[in-house]
Structure 1
Amino acid sequence: MMQILTHTPAWVFGLFAVLLWYGLSQRLARTASLKRTTLLPLAMLGFSGYGVLSAFGASLPDVLSWLATGALAAFVVSRIPLHDQTRYDADSRRFHLPGSYVPLALMMGIFLTKYAVNVALATHPALGQDTAFALLVCTLYGAFSGIFTGRALRLWKLAAQESDRAPSLPRAA
């Protein structure tokens, strides 16, 4: 194990620290703009997509597995009601969000999956050609991405509903 850690590039530990810090900050109630609540899911979508492509290339079954699992997870999660303390203020265009450990768990899940896959491929290169391994990893990445996306979709839906309810302000002439 020590050999694995000593051969890990320093930037990986920095990325881990940033994700850990940001994930822990999500456990506190906060306000955030629609843009900010969109950036994290997009970043994690990119990170998991990069994990698929860097580990297995652009293999059609792997990419389809990632996309299909992500779409299914996003659909399912987008149907789960938001926490009752979640609010959107259409005037300020900001969300009032309760704290949650879910973003931390998802970020650590994607990071640790990518790290474990890289270690597995470095120590057992033949796994890169193992279809079952590739589909399992791509499905896992897809699930993480889809959960992030589904959570964002719920917020977008809330913002759209609240914006429709808010009285429109007269435009300046």
Structure 2
Amino acid sequence: MLYQILTHTPVYVWAILAFLVYRGVLASRDRELTFGRMLVIPVLMLALALQAIASQFGLASLAMLAWTVGAGAIALQRMRFGSSRAGAGAAPGTVRIRGSWAPLALMLAIFTIKYVVAVALAIQPALADQPAFALAACGLLGLCNGSFLGQLAADIVASRKIGLETLDGMRVEA
């Protein structure tokens, strides 16, 4: 059965996985990013999760509420109690981000949740109507997305406190 699942997975899914692993390995190293580039992975992961929820459970569903609660709770926790990875970049308009393996772990978690949900629904479509399945899947996606969004917010707040330039070229002083 595993062989059938893997061979029936579209090639683009493996390309997405390779891209996520590549970006996760890059995130493990210290690097300088613009504010716009800081947004890429959190926004991409948000789009992947919301696309999965919309196509499999609907955006106006209890599943979406589970995602919202999970994302909101973790985002607030990360913003309030998490540490920022941001520091002043060498070039104007850049932020120095400390490397971490956490983004790779979160990206792989989101990919795995989406993949397992898609396989489970392909094998047993009636699961889409089971509230426990939808709540668990979407709640887990929300926790992962909330972690990305909370870290992004903490990094943006920290970078503004040290007076870095924003994308529009204006200096922001806290």
CA gap of 1:146–1:53, structure 2 versus 1, over 3 A, is same
8 A Cα contact 2:34 2:94, kept in partner: yes
Please say which structure displays the higher CA radius of gyration: 1
5+ long unaligned stretches in structure 2: 165-169
Alignment of 1:11-90 (within 5 A): 11-79=12-80, 80-83=82-85, 86-89=86-89
Cα RMSD (Å)? 1.8
**Secondary structure of 2:95 counterpart:** strand
5+ long unaligned stretches in structure 1: none
Q: TM-score, normalised by structure 1?
A: 0.88
Q: Separation in 1 of the partners of 2:27 and 2:111?
A: 17
Identity rate, percent: 32
Displacement after TM superposition at 1:89 (Å): 4.0
8 A Cα contact 1:90 1:159, kept in partner: no
The aligned counterpart of 2:167 is none
**Secondary structure of 1:57 counterpart:** coil
Q: TM-score, normalised by structure 2?
A: 0.88
Deviations for 1:117-159, whole angstroms, at most 9, x for unmatched residues?
Answer: 0000111111111001100111001111100000100111012
The aligned counterpart of 1:155 is 155
CA gap of 1:25–1:90, structure 2 versus 1, over 3 A, is closer
CA gap of 1:90–1:65, structure 2 versus 1, over 3 A, is farther
**Secondary structure of 2:96 counterpart:** strand
Q: Separation in 2 of the partners of 1:90 and 1:152?
A: 20
